[in-house]
Structure 1
């Protein structure tokens, strides 16, 4: 099969996260038809997660290509760039405050970013409730998408933007994510200025990091008076059940954490005792570095599907830049095959370079030294 011109191709993006939606938006900006398939039942099916910092040298470049940079700045929180480093007594040992005009990496809630991208698309672009099971068909195309509801869709290009455990990835790569030995336990705090004023003061307008070499804590202020805290531990992937608990046993997990963080100040231990609702276990996985695959003229990957790394503030930025670059390559190329070549030639080296920098990076959040990522900390 001859590779089609992108303007005549059936293009299918799997995954309505920031990377996939950025790709769809930029394609539509250039008059190219695209369909996005997402496993969620609808845009409000689940909480979209915490806050993100979008960087001037990647995420903001993608938003500019999407024609959404001004809208982003209207929603973003520049004050969220504040960063506090503390010791286990709660004493601030380093403090970074942004200037009033600092727009290098302002924060935005993941849900707000997703809504911004979704609302920019043509009606009907995203097909909800479409859980992909596998991709079949010859490498030269056309491809078939097989969904959990028993339906199939024929397409000329499959773009895997479906995250860590991508169902598209096996069409080009046998690689699977590995657990790196570090897990984040997420806790939520709502209406913090009124209900949790001590924690609100502790975190400030941005983020706060504490570690003692064995245990860590990273707290981030979100929009709407929310704070998310990530308790960082080096533990087996099944540490909760191995402790005789279940993920739903909030009181039991809290008691275990209070033992593990017993040497920390009472002020810091409030992040363990005062959280609203259950904890969420988030073991940290990553793809092998480098993760590359043999070129395929009908399938490619972006974001975590292509280069899953520890969640240290770069993932969404790279995913959005991937999506923008792929869309622009499709807009400029004579064939889909040519566009994939152009995109992967740019994406793979930069992803490999960043992934190599972040190998074992999640474990550095256990160090009492100030992390030197310069990316704003965990973004889960």
Structure 2
């Protein structure tokens, strides 16, 4: 019995606990003779039963010569996993860089074609085809019309950038374009220009006929070979550029069965040509300093007060509204007096008024704020007037 109690005390003591005489008396199952052998403090009094703080043991791997040891194998496995994660991260980074480079190349190709101008040309092409009578166009005809027109327009914009790449380097507005920015070589830009232009003309010829293709080719020649070199020689380049920018309406108009001699087609041409005066005069004013430093001959650089640019904007806005009203009363080339004509006239005048008012404000106060307002309204008015004219033609 005593040996069992001693073993119990050793177990308790080994667990970090000290027992005094009172604590032993509380152990009813133990005799007092065993408690007498308990620990006593130096002062003669019995110690209090208190747990001693235990130190947390840290297991450390023991060196081992056994290559099959689990502890020795854990470290190499962790290093291997880390190396694998590093390699995987590097691989993902290279993949991301490659994807970014691919996206950058694609973006540069799109930027080379001047996509905003292409989009506006496509809008006018669709409107002119609808006004001419799109019932003759099938879905495949529409497809070839849009693709061919976009390729020719994009080729003209790319050729313009190739021609002016050295001048563009001198303008912050254009210095970051693909060719002057150094992201695309001159040879690649020329190849893309030629390929898209030839493909666009061929698609229009085969898909929509000879006349739409010839109009597209004429547009390209006037824009690239006449308008572009004139920009550094005379301020009349805006008029030539307006003609080149308005010609694509005849691509859609003739593709849908119209002819080059019909009044509605010429009213559409006049509307788009006149719209370009307030639109480009606003741009020419906002970037007049850059244009002057680069050597471009714009109305705002030749006459820097803005009076000439303002009057051209006002006359262009008035002529735009006039072309729309004429088409409202001659929707198919013949005089039609109807309620639809009256309603279309009111809507066209209402849609054109904000651009005319912005032009008048620019005439009164030629500054960046009024020019920017005129530019913004030009981007709203043209689609609005085209929409009214298209709806009128369908009635």
TM-score by length of 1: 0.28
Higher relative contact order (CA 8 A, sep 6+): 1
Higher radius of gyration, 1 or 2: 2
Structure with a larger share of its residues in strand? 1
